[in-house]
Structure 1
Amino acid sequence: MQTSCRKHDKRKMKKRNLSIFIMVLLIIGLLYHTNSFMDHGIHHSKGEILNIPVASPQTPTSHHIDLYLKNNHFSGTALIVKDGKIVLHKGYGLSNRAKKSNNGPNTQYYIASLTKAFVSTAIIQLEEQGKLTSEDRLSKYFPEFPHANEIKIKHLLSQTSGIPRRNENGEELTKHELMKDISRHAKTLHSKPGETWEYTDSNYSILGVIIEKVSRMSLHEYITKFIFNPSGMEQSGFGDADKNDSYISAGYQRRFNFIYSPSKTHFSQLLGSGDSYSTAYDLYKFDQALTTGKLVSPYSLKKLFTPYKNNYGYGWYIQQRNHTIHGHIPGWSAINSISKDGKDFIILLSNLQSLSELKKMYVEIEKGVGNENFTAFTHYKIFMNF
């Protein structure tokens, strides 16, 4: 009888141990899957974990996008939001090849022309305050500027001023020297203001100086106080101010199979047009603040997102389903896209891919987020219209 009881107890013990073992395996598997998918959580630069709403990491959309980015050797950070929930926020590839550090959710990238969204927002804010209007002529701020009586602020915002492009290089310029060089190029306009769309950084550099004149603050101070701070953007800044920050990525380019570090345009030549850096999550904060009334009114937001020439609004490309802005400087490319219903967001920041490569990736991802037929990731759709 005692022998029978001992056998029964042993069987019960084995079953209990097996159950515990299975539960431990399930918990470990779940933790591993979640951590590997979300890059060990999303941390602020000071170490605390950010409270970010995250959808299930097992959604087909997130799995397909993750696989696509891996298969296409994406180097950067991707943040994808679907129906108001983050389905992917992850780094890929190396942030610094010499240090062998990885890109992650916290990695900062130079975002080039995404800076223009901050500047156009600042102009609209000042217009709401009655300090300027989009109908103001340049002569109000720069009487000696060529064609100052013809060019209006709205022409600068919509890239229809007719001012030709200028070549940007690694030379450091003072603000006076920058404006002098822009003025020299503007002596002969390519078209009558308001008639033709022609993209040039000069338009937004001029807007940046107008913001300084009207606000009596430096452009960087204004954007930090009235855009970054209200949006909760704590990992964004300008130029080389934080170049020793370990979170800032190194920029690379690929030529055939050779990856190298290109020479940079000096940020003094990109005032207002491309001199800022940020993280994917900070840009998501900006997008949310912009579209929910924290930065501008719904009426003003409509002005930003109204297509003028070439489906270009005030700093944004207006597409059928999305408002999109993109940028590139040697070593970095960036895309930020907001769906028209404000529920879906696609943010891609890269320290290797060219802008054309990043656009192709964006198209495939946008199809997946939009529940279209997501391809087997073996080819790219031709997409160069924005």
Structure 2
Amino acid sequence: MMKINTYLTALCLWVMSVAVVAAPGGELAAWTKDAEKNHFNGVVLVALGGEIKLKRGYGIADKENKRAFSADTVFDILSVTKQFTAAAILKLEEKGLLSVNDPIERFFSQVPNDKRMITLHQLLTHTSGLQSDFKEDYEVVSRNDLINGALHSTLTSTPGSNYEYSNLGYSLLGIIIEKISGVSYEKFLNEHLFAPAGMSDTGYKIPQWPSQNLIVGYDGNSRWGTPLEHEWAEDGPWWNLKANGGLLSTLTDLHKWHVALSGKTMLTDASKLKLFSPHVAENEAATSHYGYGWAVFKTKRNTNLIAHNGGNPYFFSDFRRYTDENILILFATNDRSKKNFKLYGRLIKAAIADLNRTQEEG
């Protein structure tokens, strides 16, 4: 499960179809016309100052059945899953069941010497030195397979020394969540994150969405299908994908999660500080940093952007929280064309322009 690391340069991607909120005004209204004219594809939500200004779907979610995207389309959030895994670890820390400074040898037996002192903090910040992946996303990989593969893999760097994106590390975090909580990864997230936030359409298997609500992926002109059409275990994807990607969700649910993160009841202030702090630079220029499951940026306006995206050959998703300006932008698509990316970049600019206009008028 990839995270697309071109966040602030090309502004990464696309969006929308049946209106759910009042028609937007200003730059967002102009963008909507542009999106319709240029056959934009996907779903998008824009909230400015706490108010949803745009929540729509555009284009085709299922070509074979000529089914359009709607505001209720269920989509793969891909690597945006990681921030839920990070929040779950922090929930367990709040309960006193673990610490992010714990070494992994507390949770796994017979850890080789080169990995004994890898900490949860290092797994959360991609500084563990573990490889990116064990196998492909949809290969059959049991929990024990994943543990053995991780513990006996060759490290890419000394733990704690470098930022190197690791899906493998986040899958280990998912296993730790199961070991400490005594329930499945999805059940823990559902009980301690999703349900308290009012989210009923996010998960792997628990929500049981109607098939006609699911986004369909394409490999060129060939139908790849929905994630649920591919081989999963009884409780969700196999472990090379679980906890690092693959959760399914909706615009409505992700907006609820944004609201929960903005409030005081989901996580303590201390946990949110860990979640959103710029722990490690993602590149030599230090133009972006990584928190716990979130990338952290300073915009050209010197404001904070907390974001994460995800992609594979069939889908792309993006979750952007401009926390100083109270802007939320959500986007998901099955169209990875340059045209769609450019239109998405224009959407981001339109949202910021509309907020600035509203503030000036106020």
- The TM-score, its normalising length taken from structure 2, stands at 0.81
Indicate the residue corresponding to 1:383 in structure 2: none
Give the structure 1 partner of residue 195 of structure 2: 229
Cα offset, 1:145, TM superposition: 2.9
1:287 pairs with 2:258: yes
Query: Is 2:158 the counterpart of 1:180?
Result: no
Is the 1:112–1:333 contact (alpha carbons within 8 Å) kept by the matching residues of 2? yes
Structure 1 residue 82: Cα displacement: 1.1
Tell whether 2:217 aligns with 1:260: no
Identity %: 28
Q: Evaluate the alpha carbon distance shift between residue 239 and residue 181 of structure 1 in structure 2; reply closer, same or farther with a 3 A threshold.
A: farther
Partner Cα distance (2:268, 2:108) in 1: 29
Cα distance in 1 for partners of 2:245, 2:340 equals 17
Query: 2:335 — aligned with what?
Result: 352
1:156 is the counterpart of 2:123: yes
Residue type of the alignment partner of 1:272:
A
- 1:243 is displaced (CA, Å) by 6.8
- 2:4 maps to which residue? none
Cα distance in 2 for residues equivalent to 1:152 and 1:175: 19
- Larger relative contact order (C-alpha < 8 A, sep ≥ 6)? 2
**How far 1:279 moved relative to its partner?**
0.6
The residue aligned with 2:353 is 371
Distance 1:308 1:360 in 2: 30
Question: Would the alpha carbon gap of residues 197 and 170 (structure 1) be closer, same or farther in structure 2, given more than 3 Å must change?
Answer: same
Q: Distance in 1 between matches of 2:161 and 2:74?
A: 38
Q: What SS class does the counterpart of residue 134 from structure 1 fall into?
A: coil
Could you list the per-position Cα deviations for residues 204-261 of structure 1 after superposition, in whole angstroms to 9, with x for gaps in the alignment? 100001111111111010001111101111111216984753211111243xxxx222
Tell me the secondary structure at the aligned position of residue 164 of structure 1. coil
TM superposition shift of 1:184: 3.1
Hey, what does 1:298 align to over in structure 2? 269
Distance in 2 (alpha carbons) for counterparts of 1:214 and 1:61: 48
2:319 is matched with which residue: 332, 336, 345? 336
- Indicate the residue corresponding to 1:170 in structure 2: 138
> Displacement, 1:363?
3.5
CA RMSD of aligned residues (A): 2.5
Distance 1:184 1:72 in 2: 50
Tell which deviates more after alignment, 268-277 or 56-65: 56-65
Q: Aligned-pair distance for 1:358?
A: 6.4
Shift in Å at residue 171 of structure 1? 2.2
C-alpha contact 1:75 1:353 (8 A) present in aligned 2: no
1:107–1:162 distance in 2 versus 1, CA, 3 Å: same
SS at match of 2:353: coil
Residue 290 of structure 2 is aligned to residue 312 of structure 1: yes
Structure 1 residues 207 and 367, CA, compared in 2 at 3 Å: closer, same or farther? same
Distance apart, 1:40 and its partner CA: 5.0
Task: Count matched residues.
Answer: 318
Residue 243 (structure 2) aligned to one of 272, 291, 296: 272
Normalized per residue, the structure richer in helix is 1
Q: What corresponds to 2:215 in structure 1?
A: 249
Q: Deviations over 1:246-278 (max 9, x none)?
A: 211111243xxxx22248785312010112100
**Letter of the structure 1 residue corresponding to residue 140 of structure 2:** E
Deviation at 1:298, TM superposition (A): 1.8
- Structure 2 vs 1, CA of residues 362 and 306 (structure 1 numbering), >3 Å: closer, same or farther? farther
Indicate if the aligned counterparts of 1:94 and 1:101 stay in contact, CA closer than 8 A: yes
Q: Which has the larger radius of gyration?
A: 1
Once the two structures are TM-superposed, the CA of residue 92 in structure 1 deviates from its matched residue by 0.8
In structure 2, runs of 5+ residues without a counterpart are: 1-15, 232-236, 283-288, 299-303, 357-362
1:64 aligns with 2:42: no
> More deviation in 107-116 or 64-73?
64-73
Distance 1:322 1:38 in 2: 27
Counterpart CA distance in 1 for 2:291 and 2:342 is 22
| CA distance 1:176–1:156, shift in 2 (3 Å) | same
Do the aligned residues in 1 keep the contact of 2:308 with 2:318 (CA within 8 Å)? yes
Normalised by the length of structure 1, the TM-score is 0.76
